[in-house]
Structure 1
Amino acid sequence: MTQAVSNPNPAPDSSNAERPTFILVDGHSLAFRSYFAFAKGRDGGLRTTTGIPTSVCFGFLKALLEVMATQQPEAMAIAFDLGLPTFRHEADDTYKADRPGTPEDFIPDMKNLHELLAGLNVEVVTAPGYEADDVLGTLALKASAAGFRVKILTGDRDLFQLIDLQQEIGVLYLSKTFIQGGGTGPTDFGVEQVKEKLGVLPSQVVDFKALCGDKSDNIPGVKGIGEKTAVQLLESYNDLDNIYASIDRIKGATKKKLEEGKESAYHSRHLAQIVVDVPLEINLEECKLKGFDRTVLEPILEKLEFKSFLGKVNQLQQRFGGAAEELGDKEDKEDNYQLPTTNYQPDDDLWFFTAADTEANQKQSLSPIQPQIIDTAAKLTQLVEHLQTFTDSATPVAWDTETTDLEPRDAQLVGIGCCWGDEATDMAYIPIGHAAGANLDRATVLEALRPILESDRYPKALQNTKFDRLVLRFQGINLAGVIFDSMLASYVL
């Protein structure tokens, strides 16, 4: 199997300035981000009036159209995982074993998404025995060799290893709020952006994971080697092979860890490396945008109650490479897409308020709440002791997580909040991952809270428990004792 190799110092190639654009989409990454973009809203996601879940379909299509508007692609392909074992699972039966199960309402939404993409006449590509990343890597090289400028739309950092400026392969990295409309769109990632985000070059991403592992994929790495040490080693020795060739120059505990973890390092590299020669039975001509049959698409949009898209079918036709029809004033020409149903109320923290709105509101009134900020070990101990007194199911403690992402598997934990009474001070917030101000060590906080969070003895109330449960599970916490979910309760009001 051929593996991706990036040139960290490519020479500029002015002859490629007019290359047409080929958009490759990481299907499951965009689908999950679409789902979780709306799952934390007050109603837990988008649905039709008949109850069909549509968060995935709406977010996915909206994101595609916004990217297409800026990139103006001539061709597009969307890669999905098949949900079957791959060569990586055969090499390691624990690979991705710790990922939580798929939410129940995600499954029918995905089925409808595939129907929607078929209606749009967009090429969907899968490969038995391989992951979507491998399909994307293979298509990226094929498209580049065929004269395309390639952009990979994803929220997955694994795909950074495919970035190659000389071959004009880049990544459009999804922002946390892009799908909801609160962001500035995907960030165009090249060599410099990867270096800034991870501390390594695209050509070093695989060896970076080989050294420090990847918890989300259950890639072990070298025990005891963290991200900072991995970056330092790669800065000094460039790649994994040279690190081990120079092992005698490395001193102390790091040398011992590397020696003991050599087998794990190379095993991890095998798991992290994207394959770029997957045997795909596809002609790139099939991926060129060529429009769709509106008699096929319109019934799908009607079933999903996507009224704003139905009002812009002519624009969709042009965007997806078809010929526009003369419709006069029949079609709305504004390039905005409204939420498909009126029963969805988005989270106020995520929607509608501009910076100016927020500033004006803050000047009008101060918040009546006065949370205790838990920023020392002593305060944490005192809080835990206090929370241990709440064992009555009539007075559950309310909990919430603050994260950097709306997709739990990509989210970093920023803080944890809890509330135990109706007084302004009956609440606490524990900062863990803020960019400014004091933070407590994440591992210390989680271990201190674990006896409470994982015990049925301490009753809990949450808003959208499903999301917080997944976030905590990825942090090694198995949430228990939830007796009330305000979002679920809203369904029966």
Structure 2
Amino acid sequence: MSPLVSIPLISSASSPTKPLILLIDGHSLAFRSYFAFAKGRDGGLRTKSGIPTSVSYGFLKALLEVMEAEKPQYVAIAFDLSEKTFRHEADDTYKAGRAETPEDFIPDLANLQELLLALNLPILTAANYEADDVIGTLARRASADGFQVKVLSGDRDLFQLVDPEATTKVLYLSTVYGKGTPPPREFGVEQVKEKMGILPSQIVDYKALCGDSSDNIPGVKGIGDKTAVQLLTTYGSLEKVYESLDQIKGAVRQKLEAGKDDARHSQWMAQIHLDVPLEVDWESCRLRDFDETAVNELLEKLEFRTFLNRIQKVHRQFSDTQGEASSDDSVPVEQKATPSPQY
């Protein structure tokens, strides 16, 4: 992929709305797809020849539903790499205690990624970073360059990307698996406040105070989510909480004093980096035509015949989007930032 130099945008003269880019948290959706079926009575989906397909089926189903509903002009899918990241280098207990990746998840994910590439959907990764950091970097750049951004994920960490200007929102995946799963819910500032009790800009400080067991981020020992919300509602930020210790009484103050270093460390660990050195341009993320025969062969291999008609419908959407974008304007984009994260 070429470095960022210019971005083709839909002309404001021909479109009253901003072009929409859909950023997909690949591993979040993949694992949710896996567990939606793997925990069922049959132990997951497989073809007649035994190929595991829970990940591929659930991911593709959700992807098509969201694309049909949102009709984005641009799409990018970020995945984690198997290697450790700068967070692991800073803290070797990061994500410790997580279960090993299920054995049948790995070939299923490989088949999914082969299918996504056949659909000409870009898969983005970055060495030493997580998918969240890739998504955060893309969201910030896209928002600055005139896009409406929507992030598809089941990870509340990404709520920190939601902005007051409503240029970036999160399509939050339901925690309900199986039949009757509701569609993703769109989260702006008010929806984050309703669910979490805090603003998107306070998500990092919230995790600094009460931690995150799923990532093994410690937070301040003894400070739970309700106390964290109360502190941030009263004082606004982690910095203001510590500046106001003389106003905080009893055990909470003692816990904060004892856990100050853990709070600062957890704050740094929870912060999504927005300056990942990616070499990608928006043109590579624009929906493009694809080889329908090649895609159909992969669908047949995975016994996804029910998707054929829907894929053809999306194929037409891709072609229509390509036609609309043919008269797009190009605007300059700020050059990529490449500083290495430090702790």
What is the TM-score normalised by the length of structure 1? 0.61
- What's 2:329 paired with? none
- What's 1:49 paired with? 48
Residue type of the alignment partner of 1:103: P
Does structure 1 conserve the Cα–Cα contact (< 8 Å) formed by 2:166 and 2:188?
no
- What's 1:144 paired with? 143
- Residue 253 of structure 1 and its aligned partner are, at CA, apart by 1.0
Per the alignment, in what secondary structure is the counterpart of residue 142 of structure 1? helix
- What's 1:172 paired with? 171
Does structure 2 conserve the Cα–Cα contact (< 8 Å) formed by 1:74 and 1:321?
no
Does structure 2 conserve the Cα–Cα contact (< 8 Å) formed by 1:78 and 1:125?
yes
List gaps (5 residues or longer) in structure 2. Answer: 1-14, 323-343
The answer to whether residue 296 in structure 2 is matched with residue 298 in structure 1 is yes
User: What does 1:342-361 align with in structure 2 at a 5 Å threshold?
Assistant: none
- Residue 167 of structure 1 and its aligned partner are, at CA, apart by 5.2
Does structure 2 conserve the Cα–Cα contact (< 8 Å) formed by 1:223 and 1:261?
yes
Of Structure 1 and Structure 2, the greater helix share is in: 2
- Residue 321 of structure 1 and its aligned partner are, at CA, apart by 4.1
- What's 1:317 paired with? 315
In 1, the alpha carbon distance for the partners of 2:317 and 2:35 equals: 26
Does structure 1 conserve the Cα–Cα contact (< 8 Å) formed by 2:287 and 2:321?
no
In 1, the alpha carbon distance for the partners of 2:294 and 2:155 equals: 32
In 2, the alpha carbon distance for the partners of 1:17 and 1:55 equals: 40
- What's 2:209 paired with? 211
- Residue 183 of structure 1 and its aligned partner are, at CA, apart by 2.9
User: What does 1:287-436 align with in structure 2 at a 5 Å threshold?
Assistant: 287-321=285-319
- What's 1:284 paired with? 282
Does structure 2 conserve the Cα–Cα contact (< 8 Å) formed by 1:144 and 1:167?
no
In 2, the alpha carbon distance for the partners of 1:67 and 1:220 equals: 35
Tell me the alpha carbon deviations over residues 100-123 of structure 1, each in whole angstroms, 9 at most, x when there is no partner: 001111111001011010111101
Per the alignment, in what secondary structure is the counterpart of residue 214 of structure 2? helix
- Residue 308 of structure 1 and its aligned partner are, at CA, apart by 1.5
- What's 2:24 paired with? 25
Query: In the superposition, relative to structure 1, how do residues 142 and 265 fare at CA in structure 2: closer, same or farther (>3 Å)?
Result: same
Does structure 2 conserve the Cα–Cα contact (< 8 Å) formed by 1:171 and 1:189?
yes
In 2, the alpha carbon distance for the partners of 1:55 and 1:300 equals: 15
Tell me the alpha carbon deviations over residues 198-225 of structure 1, each in whole angstroms, 9 at most, x when there is no partner: 1111000000000000000000000111
In 2, the alpha carbon distance for the partners of 1:246 and 1:111 equals: 51
- What's 1:242 paired with? 240
State which of 250, 259, 273 in structure 2 corresponds to 1:261: 259
- Residue 295 of structure 1 and its aligned partner are, at CA, apart by 2.8
Does structure 1 conserve the Cα–Cα contact (< 8 Å) formed by 2:172 and 2:185?
yes
In 1, the alpha carbon distance for the partners of 2:19 and 2:44 equals: 36
Count of equivalent residues: 308
- Residue 313 of structure 1 and its aligned partner are, at CA, apart by 4.1
- What's 1:368 paired with? none
- Residue 23 of structure 1 and its aligned partner are, at CA, apart by 0.4
In 2, the alpha carbon distance for the partners of 1:293 and 1:82 equals: 27
Residue type of the alignment partner of 1:284: W
RCO comparison, higher one (Cα < 8 Å, 6+): 2
- What's 2:221 paired with? 223
In 2, the alpha carbon distance for the partners of 1:321 and 1:133 equals: 30
Give the alignment's Cα RMSD to 1 decimal: 1.6
- Residue 319 of structure 1 and its aligned partner are, at CA, apart by 3.4
The answer to whether residue 122 in structure 2 is matched with residue 123 in structure 1 is yes
Tell me the alpha carbon deviations over residues 225-267 of structure 1, each in whole angstroms, 9 at most, x when there is no partner: 1111111110111000111111111111111111110000000
The answer to whether residue 89 in structure 2 is matched with residue 108 in structure 1 is no
Per the alignment, in what secondary structure is the counterpart of residue 197 of structure 1? helix
- Residue 323 of structure 1 and its aligned partner are, at CA, apart by 8.5
In 1, the alpha carbon distance for the partners of 2:321 and 2:86 equals: 43
- What's 2:71 paired with? 72
State which of 186, 189, 206 in structure 1 corresponds to 2:187: 189
Aligned structure 1 segments of 4 or more residues deviating by more than 3 angstroms: 319-324
List gaps (5 residues or longer) in structure 1. Answer: 1-15, 325-493
- Residue 17 of structure 1 and its aligned partner are, at CA, apart by 6.2
- What's 1:199 paired with? 197
What is the TM-score normalised by the length of structure 2? 0.87
- What's 1:275 paired with? 273
Tell me the alpha carbon deviations over residues 162-190 of structure 1, each in whole angstroms, 9 at most, x when there is no partner: 0013151000001134x745133100011
Per the alignment, in what secondary structure is the counterpart of residue 123 of structure 2? strand
Query: In the superposition, relative to structure 1, how do residues 83 and 321 fare at CA in structure 2: closer, same or farther (>3 Å)?
Result: farther
Structure with the greater alpha carbon radius of gyration = 1
Per the alignment, in what secondary structure is the counterpart of residue 215 of structure 1? coil
- What's 1:97 paired with? 96
Identity of aligned residues (%): 62
Residue type of the alignment partner of 2:30: A
The answer to whether residue 121 in structure 2 is matched with residue 83 in structure 1 is no
- What's 1:449 paired with? none
Does structure 1 conserve the Cα–Cα contact (< 8 Å) formed by 2:205 and 2:237?
yes
